[in-house]
Structure 1
Amino acid sequence: MNCSINTKFVIPTFLERNQLKMNHVCFYLLLLTTACGMLFTFLPRISAQLWKFSSASGARSLSMRAVLVDKPGPPDESMRLAHDVPVPQAAPGELLIQVAYTGLNRADLLQRMGRYNPPKGASNIMGLEVSGLVKQVGPGNVGMASRFRPGDRVMALLAGGGYADYVNVSAELAIRIPDSMSLRDAGALPEAWLTAYQLLSFVGSIRSGERVLVHAGASGVGTAALQLAKQLFGAVPFATAGSAEKCSLAVRLGAERCFNYREQPDWPAELLSATSSAGVNVLLDCIGAAHLGANARVLATDARWVLYGLMGGADLPPEQASGFLGALLSKRASLIATLLRNRPDE
């Protein structure tokens, strides 16, 4: 039906006698249609203003989804999706990110099992890296936060909180995503690549031409470390892994040699042979006790052994512990233990 007021309606006679009433009906329909159009036009703006008002007033009435762990254990017994978690607020110097992607890391699995608790003051929600859009810049627009604007595409390293619709993070830990990179790819970068970078650079003090051994060479941190060691630092990387397929990947990513510790139990001898008995200057170790004696064998003089995980256990076997300190002392080696998660933002 055309609801123009001036339209002549071709309708039954009994309605023709009520033409004035029909004109009034059409007038109100037009008014209602116009109002609806204006509502849909301005609704997004109104929503954005309500968000700003809520954030500025510190209101916590907005809710989000988040994956929560009620008790340590397997996924089907410990995890649940909650729909009523309060949206966090961005403090001065922080960003509130609307999460598009979050990465799954070994640390998340350990936290779910109760073996890797978040640092004091960090969110209990799992998730150590995200990509997404800046929803809000903290009050005052201070510090590094001044570099960002709502709508910016960012990736961020977190102490926790990534398994949710929104997460707040220090602007110090956020990186603007290049136009050539997708949100999906960016969501898997911060934890592994920044861990690998700080292990090699800040902790291991790697130098061009030095030899570095990367355990778990096909892992997230391992694959990042091999590429960074060779392409960024100009070092000569070696790797260990638990299968031929994983070793093949490590070599494709830059390892000079990769040793399958399951099929090459005397891999330290093969590594020493490959380095003309010189050994490695830097060792990135996420294994721990299982490779203790073997690690001591392959260290070069003045080597830096960087321990950042305990996948192979924390208790030292007596047969490997014997003579361990003497081996470190004779090579003037440094054993450095580190974690990325509990480092300060700076």
Structure 2
Amino acid sequence: MASMKAVCIKNDVGPATALYIDTVPIPVLTPGQVLVKVHAFGLNRMDLLQREGKYPLPPQAPKTLGVEFSGQIVEVYSEPGKPGERKIGIFEVGDEVFGLAYGGAYAQKIAVSTDTIMKRTNNISIETAAGIPETWMTATQALFQVGCFKEGEAVLLHAGASGVSIAAIQLAKSNGASAVYVTAGSQEKIDFCVNELGATAGFNYKTQDFAEQILKATNGRGVDVIVDYVTGQGYLEKDIMCAALDGRVVILGLMGGLKTDEPIDIGAILRKRVRIEGSTLRSRDLDYLRALRQKLEDESITLFHDNSFKVPIEKVFNWTDIVEAHQLMESNNTRGKIICIVDH
């Protein structure tokens, strides 16, 4: 059986130091898939959770980590009896692409559906392309599909310097948000969001009550869409406090734990008609992902090509330094994507 190199986890679960590169079989293509030689992959917080055994994988996900990548198509699925196919839909062998996968990007090659990839031009570097799919598709989903954001509305994004919030700040601004507020754990991160990305204002969750600050900044009105990756540690309670009438709270993560610190004020949810909805991207079916990819491609891709949209990269590692890359993400001291370049 043909083999390749991929990042593996000693004993299948463990700390960052359990990561190592080993030889594994090359994935076998199924209908609708292409085999991509991976140039680079992006790190995401779900990778840390999966490595620790805390992330339930969808059934179609391989054991290998990684959901976003850039690379080159080296093979397309061929029906039995029709070997040597070189094209599938608009994609063909040799195309430079980037995209989203259910898993498997921490490897020299990945099998992926054509529904979740896009063609890459030289205007977008391989490093930048590897940092777009997961974060920008998640931000698009959170703001528009789930959060139902409309022009003129105000937005609050927690973890303002995270990859998804960096994307969401720019998406909200380009679609006519009246204000974009963020929370972060340092003044440096807040200044980055405001001065470099164009957020309206930011609040330090370590030293400020963000709900009080939001209400003060909006003259008591609150914000229309809140994207929350924390939920616990008092966040959901404060989200409800600073939500506007008919506000929407989109829960994308549980960095602060599974339970709220204080009882939830159900009355405030009723009075304000607040809608609270949780969402994940990785567990969605291909039809959903195809529609989301198409929305990103139709409405945003040209803004990457002309550099209107920024994809800040904190650091680029060689994938042989995957342990250090995971440790940097665990430090929470980043302002943008962590990217790994794959050797062949």
2:186 to 221, 227, 243: 243
TM-score, with length taken from structure 2: 0.78
1:122 aligns with 2:61: yes
2:6 to 66, 69, 81: 66
1:105 aligns with 2:44: yes
SS of the residue corresponding to residue 268 of structure 2 reads helix
Residues 308-327 of structure 1 mapped to structure 2, 5 A cutoff: 308-317=252-261, 320-321=262-263, 323-327=264-268
SS of the residue corresponding to residue 262 of structure 1 reads coil
Q: CA deviation at 1:236?
A: 2.2
Q: Distance in 2 between the 1:340 and 1:239 partners?
A: 22
Residue 80 of structure 1 aligns with which residue? 20
1:135 to 62, 65, 74: 74
Over 6 Å off, 4+ runs: none
1:345 aligns with 2:286: yes
**Paired AA for residue 5 in structure 2:** R
Q: Distance in 2 between the 1:247 and 1:79 partners?
A: 32
Q: Distance in 2 between the 1:308 and 1:238 partners?
A: 17
Residue 17 of structure 1 aligns with which residue? none
* 1:235 to 1:164, Cα distance in 2 relative to 1, 3 A: farther
Point out the more displaced range, 169-178 or 133-142.
Answer: 133-142
**Paired AA for residue 188 in structure 1:** G
SS of the residue corresponding to residue 341 of structure 1 reads coil
**Paired AA for residue 151 in structure 1:** G
Residues 22-37 of structure 1 mapped to structure 2, 5 A cutoff: none
Q: CA deviation at 1:233?
A: 4.7
Give deviations 1:29-71, integer Å, cap 9, x for gaps.
Answer: xxxxxxxxxxxxxxxxxxxxxxxxxxxxxxxx11000111233
Residue 181 of structure 1 aligns with which residue? 124
Q: CA deviation at 1:235?
A: 4.7
Which has more helix, going by share of residues? 1
Residue 282 of structure 1 aligns with which residue? 225
2:274 to 315, 320, 333: 333
Larger radius of gyration: 1
Q: Distance in 2 between the 1:89 and 1:295 partners?
A: 45
Q: CA deviation at 1:263?
A: 1.7
Q: CA deviation at 1:302?
A: 0.6
SS of the residue corresponding to residue 123 of structure 1 reads coil
Q: Do the aligned residues in 2 keep the contact of 1:153 with 1:177 (CA within 8 Å)?
A: yes
Point out the more displaced range, 224-233 or 204-213.
Answer: 224-233
Q: Distance in 2 between the 1:74 and 1:165 partners?
A: 22
TM-score, with length taken from structure 1: 0.78
* 1:235 to 1:101, Cα distance in 2 relative to 1, 3 A: farther
Residue 34 of structure 2 aligns with which residue? 95
Q: CA deviation at 1:223?
A: 0.7
SS of the residue corresponding to residue 289 of structure 1 reads coil
1:306 aligns with 2:250: yes
Which has more strand, going by share of residues? 2
**Paired AA for residue 88 in structure 1:** P
Gaps of 5+ in 2: 288-344
Give deviations 1:148-184, integer Å, cap 9, x for gaps.
Answer: 0111000010111000111011100001012311111
1:263 to 201, 207, 229: 207
SS of the residue corresponding to residue 248 of structure 1 reads helix
Q: Do the aligned residues in 1 keep the contact of 2:33 with 2:113 (CA within 8 Å)?
A: yes
Report 1 or 2 for greater relative contact order, CA contacts < 8 Å, sequence distance ≥ 6.
2
Q: Distance in 2 between the 1:108 and 1:341 partners?
A: 12
SS of the residue corresponding to residue 277 of structure 2 reads strand
Residue 155 of structure 2 aligns with which residue? 212
Q: Do the aligned residues in 2 keep the contact of 1:123 with 1:159 (CA within 8 Å)?
A: yes
Residue 9 of structure 1 aligns with which residue? none
Q: Do the aligned residues in 1 keep the contact of 2:60 with 2:102 (CA within 8 Å)?
A: no
Q: Distance in 2 between the 1:112 and 1:80 partners?
A: 12
The CA RMSD over aligned residues, in Å, is: 1.6
Q: CA deviation at 1:308?
A: 0.6
* 1:160 to 1:235, Cα distance in 2 relative to 1, 3 A: farther
Q: CA deviation at 1:269?
A: 1.4
**Paired AA for residue 276 in structure 2:** L
How many residue pairs were aligned?
279
